[in-house]
Structure 1
Amino acid sequence: MNIEITPEEMSEKRLSSYILVDMRNKRATDYGIIPGAVCIAPSEFDSHVEEWRGAGVPVIVYCMTGEQSVEPVKKLQSQGVEAYSLAGGYSRWVVFDIKHAESKKKQAEESIRKTFHKKLFSPFAKALNTYELLQPGDHVAVCVSGGKDSFLMAKLFQEIKRHHKFDFDLTFLCMNPGYNDTNLAVIEENARLLDVPLTMFKSDIFDIVDTVPKNPCYLCARMRRGWLYSKAKELGCNKIALGHHYDDVIETILMGMLYGGQVQTMMPKLHSTNFEGMELIRPLYLIREDDIKRWRDSNGLHFIQCACHFTDTCSSIDPEGHTNSKRMEIKQLIKELKKVNPTVEQNIFRSVENVNLSTVIAYKKDGVKHFFTEDY
């Protein structure tokens, strides 16, 4: 019996003619799953063997890249189950699906104007106005990493440009920090599908970060921003736009308090300290992540998750979804707090808008610490 089946071969079968199993952890499946798939961890496969043996249809198992699913499939076959590993995994299927979905561009754009106007376009426009993120004559480098947030941001900028309120220029900037061929293909195919004309350039960030044992994600983010500032300035841009959303903001506030012992937030805009005349803006500041996911899923879109070398190897390993990421811990904490207090997210967001300096022990201004006794 063959071990693998390709996405092309799978597409020729009717959905009812096989059982599709996603073995990735929850963090990975949050970025999207193949329609019709059931999420089952490899540790639970044994409890389904009898059911699958008697199903009368093959079981197709997939992970992120097609590597982690081979051994579980071999074991299933040894237990008498007709099972196959999806060659190339979810990543290869995404490329295949995008190439066969030419009608999705119009659908995605229409949904921004209609179905998701209130949840996506309105808060996007509100953030631009409230925080004065966009001015006449601006040339914005819209930074497209390849994920759902940055591609939505690109489409929202195209939509706001279509309204012709005032003149500004856009460059859709995409850095390749060392993506593997599959992830790069997903980005390029999504850009073609959604009609986002990318200006791509390469860096060696992933190779550098691979040699750093401690806090690689922090270093990667810092290096990415520097490269993006530099390239954007070279292209004549005066601003870079990043795809951080509302949930990123409240998570950052809590992370600062619980792990950094400080009260601070992710600002909607800031001036670059190393690149004169450059500014960073965050137009998705008021948009909820769940609404971005709904837009993605309702349009049948599939994007890459964090595509670094660490993700390539670890996205399927932990069936329980455990992670060392502090941000993931904070996400879970907020989720638990919301069960007790439904308004906890709004309260966290507003907490940094309602700071009374007369009720804090100390604060910093321009790097100088001021103690409450100075004005007591």
Structure 2
Amino acid sequence: MNTIPLPIAEPPSRSQRAKPPANKHEADKLAKRLRHQVGRAIADFGMIEDGDRVMVCLSGGKDSYTLLDVLLQLQKKAPVKFSITAVNLDQKQPGFPEHVLPDYLTSIGVDFHIIEQDTYSVVSRVIPEGKTMCSLCSRLRRGALYTYAEEHGFTKIALGHHRDDLVNTFFLNLFFHAKLSGMPPKLLSDDGKHVVIRPLAYVREDDIEAYAEAKRFPIIPCNLCGSQENLQRKQVKKMLAQWEKDAPGRIETMARALGDIRPSQLSDPKLFDFMALGKRGDDALPDAHAWLAGGETQRDDD
């Protein structure tokens, strides 16, 4: 598939990104803001209920570390009781530091499990050189995590996607797949067996980056697809970065728009009954075939 060119710009420099808190007071404010945003998302979408067993998918990136950290904080004073287990999929990428996550998770005393599955070799063998690997890699990773969740009775699967990911995915689908859809804060898997939640749905990526730096999480980079420059998602991200630079606050406005859908202002007859709008009488309206045929035949009263 050829990549559709988009108006892109260079990603923001370090000086343009949110900086890590300068002191303890600033760090506490940031942590409080994240707890508030995550707590509000959990409440708004009914993400966690009493007795839930939450499987937090931990990749070793800033997003999933932040997700786990904030959920552990909220768990202490949550209005419901729920358990947390951190689960990482070791995809057997060359050079992957296998000790980092077990050492970190042991140090904070959280229940965890490492799944070992060589998806790296599968993706590298199947995908031709130069083609993007994300689609197949995601399917294999999702399958392994879903299988583990089912086998061990987890009731919720928590992923680290944030506000910017939700906006990014909306434009990715708009530009490349001709549909208005995105990445919902809560969803049911296609097989109906798993409830997936995204508690960071209201959290800015810049805040996560600043928080991860302040907490000094042991970040593990993805060497499989993170360095691929021809990803459609990267093009959209650069475009959004330029928009945000030109008009600060635009991403937040777009994120809010995802929660304020007006079906009657769009063009999907499956979501809004345009046929009944302003209709006079009870007679059935002619369909498209009748209208097209009308250009080739004469009416009786002509």
TM-score, structure 1 normalization: 0.62
Is residue 2:263 matched to residue 1:357?
Answer: yes
C-alpha contact (below 8 Å) 1:230/1:275 kept by paired residues? no
Indicate the larger mover: 132-141 or 343-352. 343-352
Structure 1 contact 111–117 (Cα < 8 Å) conserved: no
Task: Please say if residues 27 and 214 of structure 2, whose CA atoms lie closer than 8 Å, have aligned partners that are also in contact.
Answer: no
Report the Cα distance in structure 1 between the residues aligned to 2:258 and 2:80, rounded to whole angstroms: 32
Equivalent residue number for residue 241 of structure 1: 158
Note the C-alpha offset of 1:197: 3.4
The DSSP-based 3-state class of the residue aligned with 1:175 is strand
CA–CA distance in structure 1, aligned partners of residues 79 and 263 of structure 2 = 39
In structure 2, stretches of 5+ residues that fail to align are 1-9, 15-23, 279-302
2:217 alignment partner, one of 286, 301, 306? 301
- 1:201 CA drift (Å): 1.5
Q: Per the alignment, do residues 164 and 284 of structure 1 end up closer, same or farther by CA in structure 2, a change over 3 Å counting? A: closer
Letter aligned with residue 183 of structure 1:
P
Contact 2:49 2:82 in 1 (8 A): yes
Task: Provide the rounded CA distance (Å) in 2 between the counterparts of 1:287 and 1:205.
Answer: 30
Question: How far did residue 375 of structure 1 move?
Answer: 4.5
Residues paired across the two proteins, number: 256
Structure with the higher strand share, 1 or 2: 1
1:221 aligned counterpart, secondary structure: helix
* Partner in structure 2 of residue 282 of structure 1: 198
Q: C-alpha displacement at 1:117, in angstroms? A: 2.8
Instruction: Please state how far the C-alpha of 1:132 moved relative to its aligned partner.
Output: 0.7
Report if the CA contact (8 A) 2:243-2:250 is conserved: yes
* CA 1:363–1:287: 2 relative to 1, 3 Å: farther
Q: 2:286 maps to what in 1?
A: none
1:287 to partner: Cα distance: 0.9
Residue identity opposite 2:31 in structure 1: H
Partner of 1:262: 179
Q: Which amino acid aligns with 2:70?
A: L
After superposition, give the CA deviation of every residue in 1:321-340 in whole Å (9 maximum; x if it has no partner).
x8212222112111211233
Q: Is the 1:144–1:172 contact (alpha carbons within 8 Å) kept by the matching residues of 2?
A: yes
Match of 1:105 in 2: none
SS in structure 2 of the partner of residue 258 of structure 1: helix
Tell me the C-alpha RMSD between the 2 structures.
2.7
Residue 286 of structure 1: CA displacement? Answer: 0.8
Q: 1:220 aligns with which of 137, 148, 151?
A: 137
Contact 2:57 2:64 in 1 (8 A): yes
Distance 1:372 1:286 in 2: 33
Give the match for residue 59 of structure 2.
Answer: 145
> Is this contact kept in 2: 1:253–1:265, CA < 8 A?
yes
Q: For the Cα contact (< 8 Å) 1:176–1:203, is it kept in 2?
A: yes
Give the CA deviation at 1:180.
3.4
Letter in 2 for 1:133: M
Gaps of 5+ in 1: 1-25, 31-109, 316-321
Find the partner of 1:201 among 115, 119, 124. Answer: 115
1:169 and 1:130 map into 2 onto residues whose CA distance is 20
Q: Give the TM-score normalised by the residue count of structure 2.
A: 0.76
In 1, distance between residues paired with 2:270 and 2:54? 31
Q: Percent identity?
A: 27
Q: Any conservation in 2 of the 1:183–1:307 contact (CA below 8 Å)? A: no
**Who is 1:10 aligned against?**
none
Aligned equivalent of 1:133: 47
